[in-house]
Amino acid sequence: MAFWVQIRGRDEDEEFPDAASYEILEGGVLKVSSGDNVHLYSPAHWQELLIGTRREAPADELAGGVGDDLRWQ
């Protein structure tokens, strides 16, 4: 499944393909591996990791509950 990383102070999320993987390292650093690329996000910069098969709705639309594609987790 594709996932998105929400970055503080940015309107656009970082989007990663199905084959990408992520890991939370010591100190809250988010490590994303996608193909030959490795992206590291410090805890001061990333806010949330969104996982699903489609782009998430804005936060005010999510207030009603978890999206259908996240429900199985």
Q: Which of 28, 27, 22 is nearest to 5 (CA)?
A: 22
- The stretch 30-58 carries a mean pLDDT of 79
- The stretch 25-35 carries a mean pLDDT of 90
- pTM, two decimals, is 0.61
Residue 51 has pLDDT above 80, yes or no: no
Segments making up each domain of the chain, as ranges: 2-52
For the chain, what is the mean pLDDT?
A: 76
Counting DSSP H helices and E strands in the chain, the numbers are 1, 6
Q: Band of the pLDDT at 54, cuts 50, 70, 90?
A: low
Q: Band of the pLDDT at 70, cuts 50, 70, 90?
A: very low
Strand ranges in the chain using DSSP code E only, listed in sequence order: 2-7, 14-16, 21-24, 30-34, 37-41, 46-52
Residue 68 has pLDDT above 70, yes or no: no
